[in-house]
Amino acid sequence: MAGESLIPVLEKRKLNMAVTTPVDGKLFTLEQELAFEHERNPWEAQAARFDLAARKLNLDEGIWKVLRYPTREIIVHIPVQMDNGSIEVFTGYRVQHSQARGPAKGGIRYSPDVSLDEVRALASWMTWKCAVVNIPFGGAKGGVICDPRNMSQGELERMTRRYTAELIEFIGPEKDVPAPDMNTNEQTMAWIMDTYSMHMRQTSTAVVTGKPVNIGGSRGRKEATGRGISVCCDEALKHLGLTVEGCRVIIQGFGNVGSNAAKILYHKGYTIIGIAEFDGALVNLDGIDIPGLIEHRAKAGTINGFAKAEACDRAELLTRECEILIPAATENVITSRNAADLRCRILCEGANGPTTTLADDMLEAKGIFVIPDILANAGGVTASYFEWVQDRMGYFWTELEVNQRLDAIMCDSFKDVVSYGDTHKVNNRIAAYMLAIDRVAYTTKQRGMYA
């Protein structure tokens, strides 16, 4: 080895060093950690599934290139005067993946973990999600890198309005219609709607969805994602010949999506045996009193300390035996490190991207029936479509009408995906991608290439 560089040797030694991962306390080499980091990249996961579905569709190579990448990626830097008089500059994104089938549609999230790859992936998923439920939208997503927990209401408002002003030429009822997402809500949408309206010199309620009902929001919108999840669970039980009675459910995440799914499933007769949150987890094998837990969380600000359930380990709860597991919080919850340990019969993905691509094969090998995110959580964007329609015609439906229309679309979409999978001999996730890509590709070809 005389004269040979020591760098490759040192690098090799570094890769074989054990490091501790804070996720589960196990030891992994640096090489394993790097591979795991790659596994959890949401854009890579979306692209891998898109490529597999496109290949099975024998998609035209040119259309493949058009649909694989976003149409537009916008990066803005947002100066905001903070309450103490200092000025902070926040980075914001808006990615428009497709507008082939209609205006782009997608939420805006505020989080320290927002990245361009994440927003790209979420925008793409929105395109496929809208196509799966066959509503006339394309996909978009937005985000601002910030920690809203450490910001006042005034700071959040100033940041939101400046972010909106920076995007003013790219959004609009016929261009791109934002909605709430992680750490944003109907108040955020009201600020966006007002800022846009001030620039347009007219009230434009249809520029966003997820608004308060009194300024053009739709009844049933807040519960819609959870309701859609419940419909998918109902349909999955029918498909598999199971019944609601004795059906045990574990839900990871108790925010808007998870808590509403839990509440609706509870009232339908499902037995919710476990709830996991970022700061703790609860279990009761006889069933958790969900209305009681919601009331407790509203008072205490946490699910912890609820008297009618026992505290348990969050990671361990996901691997408990149950009929339905619903990850309803963030991406990358089911990975190659825990997929083999799952003991559910049905995995219903309430969150966007909760399962990695490496975990997909493991779940299929175990025979777990997966209801993919682009179907399972599409109730939210479906109700957003209803809100957009109502705003544009100036006539609003009752909550019963909203729910009936939502239930019908979710039932039909579930059957479409399962049927597509049976026809093409693929699992539900790839079937959902194939169905969505097929619909968007058909429209893209019909419209032709503008030159």
Q: Are 92 and 145 in contact (CB under 8 A)?
A: yes
Q: 280 φ, ψ to 5°?
A: 160, 180
Answer whether residue 302 is part of any domain.
yes
Say whether both 93 and 132 belong to one domain.
yes
Q: How confident is the model over 205-228, as a mean pLDDT?
A: 97
For 180-190, what is each residue's pLDDT tens digit?
Answer: 999 999 999 99
CATH number (domain holding residue 179): 3.40.50.10860
How far apart are the C-alpha atoms of 79 and 88, rounded to whole Å? 6
Answer whether residue 405 is part of any domain.
no
How far apart are the C-alpha atoms of 356 and 406, rounded to whole Å? 28
Say whether both 228 and 354 belong to one domain.
yes
Say whether both 314 and 181 belong to one domain.
no
For 8-46, what is each residue's pLDDT tens digit?
Answer: 433 443 444 444 444 455 677 877 777 778 788 888 888
Q: Are 278 and 290 in contact (CB under 8 A)?
A: no
Catalytic residue, candidates 141, 211, 222, 263: 141
Which pLDDT belongs to residue 121?
Answer: 92
Answer whether residue 403 is part of any domain.
no
Which pLDDT belongs to residue 25?
Answer: 57
Say whether both 233 and 187 belong to one domain.
no
Answer whether residue 41 is part of any domain.
no
Say whether both 118 and 168 belong to one domain.
yes
Which candidate, 319, 243, 256, 258, places its Cα nearest to that of 288? Answer: 258
Answer whether residue 391 is part of any domain.
no
Contacts of residue 136, defined as CB under 8 A and 6 or more positions apart, other chains included, come to 101, 102, 130, 385
Say whether both 236 and 199 belong to one domain.
no
Q: How confident is the model over 322-329, as a mean pLDDT?
A: 97
CATH number (domain holding residue 242): 3.40.50.720
The token duo for 274 is 């476990």
335, pLDDT greater than 50: yes
Say whether both 370 and 280 belong to one domain.
yes
DSSP string, 4-43: --SHHHHHHHHHHSEEE-TTTS-EEEHHHHHHHHHHT-HH
Across the chain, what does the average pLDDT equal?
Answer: 93
Q: How confident is the model over 375-396, as a mean pLDDT?
A: 97
For 47-87, what is each residue's pLDDT tens digit?
Answer: 999 999 999 999 999 999 999 999 999 999 999 999 999 99
The model carries a pTM of: 0.90
For 397-435, what is each residue's pLDDT tens digit?
Answer: 999 999 999 999 999 999 999 999 999 999 999 999 999
Which pLDDT belongs to residue 20?
Answer: 43
Answer whether residue 436 is part of any domain.
no
Range of the domain at 13: 1-31
- Percent pLDDT > 90 in the chain is 88
Say whether both 135 and 81 belong to one domain.
yes
Say whether both 252 and 324 belong to one domain.
yes
Active-site residue, 141 included? yes
For 103-146, what is each residue's pLDDT tens digit?
Answer: 999 999 999 999 999 999 999 999 999 999 999 999 999 999 99
DSSP H or E segment with residue 287: none
Contacts of residue 158, defined as CB under 8 A and 6 or more positions apart, other chains included, come to 80, 81
Q: How confident is the model over 248-254, as a mean pLDDT?
A: 97
How far apart are the C-alpha atoms of 135 and 381, rounded to whole Å? 9
Answer whether residue 80 is part of any domain.
yes
Say whether both 95 and 169 belong to one domain.
yes
* Helix, strand, or coil (residue 427): coil
How far CA 448 is from CA of 53, 139, 200, 407, 441, in Å, comes to 22, 19, 32, 34, 10
Say whether both 230 and 373 belong to one domain.
yes
Contacts of residue 301, defined as CB under 8 A and 6 or more positions apart, other chains included, come to none
Q: How confident is the model over 264-272, as a mean pLDDT?
A: 98
Number of domains in the chain: 3
Which pLDDT belongs to residue 125?
Answer: 95
Which pLDDT belongs to residue 36?
Answer: 78
6, pLDDT greater than 70: no
Answer whether residue 199 is part of any domain.
yes
Angle, vertex CA 400, rays to CA 411 and CA 191, nearest 5: 95
Say whether both 19 and 121 belong to one domain.
no
Q: 367 φ, ψ to 5°?
A: 75, 20
